[in-house]
């Protein structure tokens, strides 16, 4: 590759040609080189002008965490230290004072110093008794478990799985000749704004009134572009599609799939599980606007 060139830019040209080994990665026009991953107005075929992009709206429905995250080791250590320091710098509470008094009274009674007072028949409730009663009552209370049955069965359709994490709704749809896991998406109708399109898309997927979401703002949070293959481009007359994502928070209910829509399956997945379901470029785009619960 160390060929001599009269003009240094031609050498750079040759190097870029070898570097970009992708098929059709460069286009030449008027002795200028453009890498094809940039929008290139000059790289159109001679019979058509630049084709437009189709607009689609995608919806990212998130189920926010229901329980708090577990502490990692340093957080546990620090918590314990904080509790110790707080205990050391505290003073005795009324309850502890009462316990102390009761203890002294018991001791005195045993040693026979204290006389039996009238009406005092030894059945007085001490502070420790009260404490024991309170603890008994606490034991009777059963809190709901942090790990649910959905966790144990690994039921990915359930909304009660991974309560400490954020869950995102994914659907399986047929795109071209492949079935892929994607966020629910649909084309924008004429006269709609992108957010209205997103709301319509979501309502089309699910049975009415089963899921209550709150869309967060009118602006899209991310965009994903994909170019159609050449034959589809000719057929549809568009270069590709731009999907604008909108975020929605799940307030109530669950996703109930409509049987007539082109969705074959759905899942509620965590941010870590996204990579295993989605294609790389799509996954990277989505992860930029889905923030993790803990780092």
Partner 1 sequence: MGVCNHTKLYVCALHPSRGIFTGVGGLAFRASQSLQAEPPKKKKKTDPKQEQLRQHRYLKRLKKLQYKMGKAELKPVEEMRVDRALLDESRKRDLPEIPPEEQERRALLLKRWSKFKFAQHVAETRLIEGAIKAQEKALNELRTESEELYQQAIKTDNSLFPLEGVGPTHTPAIDGFDKKVIDGEYVDVTRQYR
> Is residue 195 within the footprint of partner 1 (CB under 8 A)?
yes
Instruction: Work out the angle between the directed axes of helices 127-140 and 94-110 (0-180°, nearest 10).
Output: 120
Determine the Cα angle at 144 with ends 141 and 148, to 5°: 155
Give the span between the Cα atoms of 147 and 162, in whole angstroms. 8
Single out the segment in contact with partner 1 by CB under 8 A; choices: 21-29, 142-150, 231-239, 258-266.
142-150
> Is residue 267 within the footprint of partner 1 (CB under 8 A)?
no
Of the residues 5, 28, 42, 78, which one makes contact with partner 1 according to CB under 8 A: 78
The helix (run of H) or strand (run of E) holding residue 292 is none
In Å, what is the CA distance from 250 to each residue of 88, 267, 270, 285?
44, 14, 14, 21
- Token pair for residue 62? 């998130």
Of the residues 85, 130, 134, 175, which one makes contact with partner 1 according to CB under 8 A: 85
Shortest reach from residue 276's CB to partner 1, in Å: 21
Residues β-bridged to residue 253: 211
Of the residues 19, 22, 106, 291, which one makes contact with partner 1 according to CB under 8 A: 291
Of the residues 194, 204, 256, 261, which one makes contact with partner 1 according to CB under 8 A: 194
Shortest reach from residue 145's CB to partner 1, in Å: 7
Cβ neighbours for 80, distance < 8 A, ≥ 6 positions apart = none
Shortest reach from residue 266's CB to partner 1, in Å: 22
CB–CB of 185/205 below 8 Å? no
Tell me which residues touch partner 1 (CB under 8 A): 53, 55, 64-68, 74, 77-78, 81, 85, 88, 90-92, 97, 142-146, 148, 160, 163-164, 193-195, 214-223, 225, 242, 244-245, 249, 285, 288-289, 291-292, 295
């Amino acid at each position: 590759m160390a060929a001599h060139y009269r003009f240094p830019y031609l050498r750079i040209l040759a190097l870029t040609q070898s570097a970009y080994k992708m098929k059709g990665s460069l286009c030449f026009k008027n002795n200028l080189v453009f890498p094809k991953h940039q929008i290139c107005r000059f790289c159109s075929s001679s019979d058509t002008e630049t084709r437009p992009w189709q607009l689609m709206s995608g919806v990212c429905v998130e189920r926010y965490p229901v329980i708090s995250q577990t502490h990692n080791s340093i957080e546990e250590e620090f918590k314990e230290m904080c509790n110790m320091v707080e205990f050391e710098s505290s003073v005795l509470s009324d309850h502890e004072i009462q316990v102390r008094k009761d203890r002294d009274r018991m001791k005195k009674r045993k040693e026979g110093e204290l006389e039996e007072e009238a009406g005092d028949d030894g059945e007085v409730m001490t502070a420790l008794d009260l404490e024991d009663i309170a603890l008994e009552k606490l034991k009777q209370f059963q809190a709901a478990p942090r790990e649910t049955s959905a966790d144990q069965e690994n039921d990915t359709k359930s909304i009660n799985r991974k309560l400490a994490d954020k869950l995102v709704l994914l659907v399986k749809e047929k795109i071209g000749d492949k079935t892929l896991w994607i966020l629910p998406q649909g084309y924008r109708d004429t006269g709609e704004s992108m957010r209205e399109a997103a709301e319509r898309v979501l309502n089309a997927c699910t049975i009415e009134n089963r899921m209550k979401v709150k869309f967060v703002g009118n602006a899209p949070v991310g965009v994903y572009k994909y170019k159609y293959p050449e034959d589809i481009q000719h057929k549809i007359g568009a270069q590709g599609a731009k999907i604008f994502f909108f975020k929605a928070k799940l307030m109530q209910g669950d996703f109930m799939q409509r049987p007539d829509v082109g969705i074959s399956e759905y899942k509620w997945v965590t941010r870590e599980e996204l990579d295993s379901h989605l294609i790389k470029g799509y996954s990277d785009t989505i992860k930029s606007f889905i923030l993790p619960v803990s780092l």
